[in-house]
Structure 1
Amino acid sequence: MEDGMARTTTALLTRLSQAVGVSGHEREVADLVAQELGPFVDEVRTDRLGNCVGLRRSRTGAAGAPRVMLAAHLDEIGMVVSRIERGGFLRVQPIGGVNVQTLLGRQVVVHAAEGPLPGIIGHPPPHLTADGSRARLPRWEELFVDCGLSQDEAERRIAVGDLVTVAQAPLQLLGDRLAGKALDNRASVAAVVEAMRRLQELRHEADVYAVATVQEEVGLRGAAVSAFHVEPDVAIVVDVTFARQRLVSEPDVVELGRGPAIAIGANMHPRVVEALTETAREHGVPHQVEAIPGRSGTDAWAIQVSRQGVPTGLVSVPLRYMHGPTEVVQVSDVQQTARLLAHFVARVHAGWVEQLARWE
């Protein structure tokens, strides 16, 4: 990859990672995605649930253009203030699948009405902790946030229901890798934005809907709503998947730096998988294959069964340390995912879409 393109993608990933968008509260990051998509689409809007939908119309002028949906969820996991206790300490509860073992001692931000407030997740010192307690994970009811406020100040400045996110600035690692929060799934959002940019250079018959979906982490809700409205002829969901890391079994991972993973399984239409694989081979896109025999746990699960059914594919960016405060991706994998998506869209035509509905 050219250095300039890598820098552009890294800058986009950094902006997306820094934005706040906990499930159900995605307005800030949705506005950013709309801004990033704007130059590459004919129109962009936000629907009633908060999904950001950009439309790039067919560039062939053909009547009855097929509809292709590229979907990547933009929400992130986080926490919410559930109680303010004596001493000004805040109790919190998770929004989405937060990994509690990664939180102790972390710096956080409490998103209060008056503005963001710094805090830390406290922990008892080992000197005052029984041996048995040290060996187990903390329970949520044992976690607390300390903003340095008295009880009166905390009750005046913070409310039950305020969001809490980990304070984690993106960090450029060696080997073309970036660490940061919310790269699940901002890395895939970046790939979709980059794919729409690349489509400016390609001729495509399809109307292309780039959809950044909300509330994936709490139940695939944005995907269900947006697919019902867009009514795509074919959909490609872009998410992240487990990259090789320590203490994770070998069969369950793909590799960083070897391109996107194309999923095969019950959630994915065989002809869509075939077209994605052929596209990757024809255009020299490095890629991997991921077998998912049952539920994928992604937006593909909801989109596949929207209305009368949607032929769906799943393309995933390899990622380490999923649902932690410092997830890691390789920038080249994001760029190769974008290449695959753009060239796939360019090959979609009405005749092929009609074949998807027939199984002979």
Structure 2
Amino acid sequence: MEYMTVLKELSELTGVSGREYGISSYIANIFREYCDKVEIDKFYNVSGYKKGSDMAGKKIMIMAHHDEIGLLVKSIDEKGFIKFTNIGGIDSKILLAQEVVVHGSKDVYGVIGAKPPHLLKPEEAKKAVKMEDLYIDTGLSNESISKLVSIGDVITFKTYPFELRRDKLSSKCLDNRAGVAVLLDIMKRLSKLNHNHDVVFVATSQEELGLSGAKIAAYNINPDMAIVIDACHGEIPDGAKDETYALGNGPAIAIGPNLHRLYTKKIMDVAKEENIAYQVDVEPGNTGTEAWATQVSRSGIPTILISIPLKYMHTTIETVQISDIKSTGKLVSRFVSEL
């Protein structure tokens, strides 16, 4: 698999939470190359089923969300400027001077503007920027923009993925398109490995809005165990050392009371046997991931959490290292084949 190319393509797709219909079709088409059956449910979860060799085998679900954060049109003023709100967790500080795409009846390009520093009053200059003070300028009048854009239309960031040194990629929504890339890698590896159990790969929707897709998928599929692939905070100069993980040192395997102890130990043992580098993520409570929703579905699903270190989460320059994606795919595929 050409990891860099696949990840670039995935990150350029639009899939804001609640509006994942386009990306779900794209992912379903890729799933069909490796899976025996592929389905898209009413919430745009994409499920790919891969049969195991044992007719009496169990069902393993491997999950990664495919939605992204974005913005939503709130109003259009008399001069054509668009006011907006957020979909998912967005810090207003990252919004100034961003290029965006407003997805109306046709795509409209715009920029997020705000009062220049020269025009700020002294008391204003000391305050943090508020989303309600920002606006999108498309260059169109109210009459023109109102023919193309409606209240409730979604807005995405207009960014392009670009490569950094040492096999790193920077782009929007690598949280969690990197996880989707891992799903594809696992599928490809398992096509060359014997695995006794059935595997269901799920690219889930609306994770950024409260884990909705995971709740639906876990309930409907009802697996015997689940593996959740997500992103964790990458190591940065001012980040807490016990809450961030180095890029290039492999995935972070979570341990905690909500995660299955025996399966977690098993995947760590597999990592050691296969000489796959990994890090340990201590999660004493809510992981903030789909593992939290999955493990309490129905009568309970044994769940483990594997995370890809990612810098600058929920910005337009999220950054991952390709080797961590390869390591995660290799680790999970080996784990599944040994169950």
TM-score, normalised by the number of residues in structure 1: 0.93
Counterpart code for 2:42:
R
- Matches of 1:217 and 1:332, distance apart in 2: 26
> Where in structure 2 are there 5+ consecutive unaligned residues?
none
What is the CA distance between 1:132 and its match in structure 2? 2.6
Correspondent of 1:242 among 233, 257, 265 = 233
Q: How many residues align?
A: 339
What is the CA distance between 1:237 and its match in structure 2? 0.3
Q: What corresponds to 2:324 in structure 1?
A: 333
What is the CA distance between 1:299 and its match in structure 2? 0.4
- Matches of 1:210 and 1:132, distance apart in 2: 53
Q: What corresponds to 2:257 in structure 1?
A: 266
Q: What corresponds to 2:93 in structure 1?
A: 101
> Where in structure 1 are there 5+ consecutive unaligned residues?
349-360
Q: What corresponds to 2:152 in structure 1?
A: 161
Counterpart code for 2:3:
T
User: Superposed, which structure 2 residues align to 1:25-44 within 5 Å?
Assistant: 25-44=19-38
Correspondent of 1:72 among 58, 64, 88 = 64
Correspondent of 1:12 among 6, 10, 16 = 6
What is the CA distance between 1:194 and its match in structure 2? 0.7
Runs of 4+ in 1 over 3 A off after TM superposition: none
Residue 121 (structure 1) aligned with residue 115 (structure 2): no
- Matches of 1:266 and 1:132, distance apart in 2: 47
What is the CA distance between 1:282 and its match in structure 2? 1.2
Q: Secondary structure at the match of 1:148?
A: coil
Q: Secondary structure at the match of 2:277?
A: coil
What is the CA distance between 1:144 and its match in structure 2? 0.5
* Residue-by-residue CA offset, 1:36-63 (whole Å, 9 max, x unaligned): 22111111110121100000111x2x22
What is the CA distance between 1:156 and its match in structure 2? 1.4
Counterpart code for 2:11:
S
What is the CA distance between 1:130 and its match in structure 2? 1.5
- Matches of 2:149 and 2:310, distance apart in 1: 34
Q: Secondary structure at the match of 1:81?
A: strand
Correspondent of 1:21 among 15, 19, 36 = 15
Q: What corresponds to 1:353 in structure 2?
A: none
Q: Contact conserved, 1:67 with 1:234, CA < 8 A, in 2?
A: yes
Q: Contact conserved, 1:266 with 1:295, CA < 8 A, in 2?
A: no
Q: What corresponds to 1:210 in structure 2?
A: 201
Residue 198 (structure 1) aligned with residue 189 (structure 2): yes
Q: Secondary structure at the match of 2:31?
A: helix
Counterpart code for 2:218:
A
Correspondent of 2:246 among 233, 241, 255 = 255
Q: Secondary structure at the match of 2:103?
A: strand
Q: What corresponds to 1:149 in structure 2?
A: 140
Counterpart code for 1:233:
D
What is the CA distance between 1:140 and its match in structure 2? 1.8
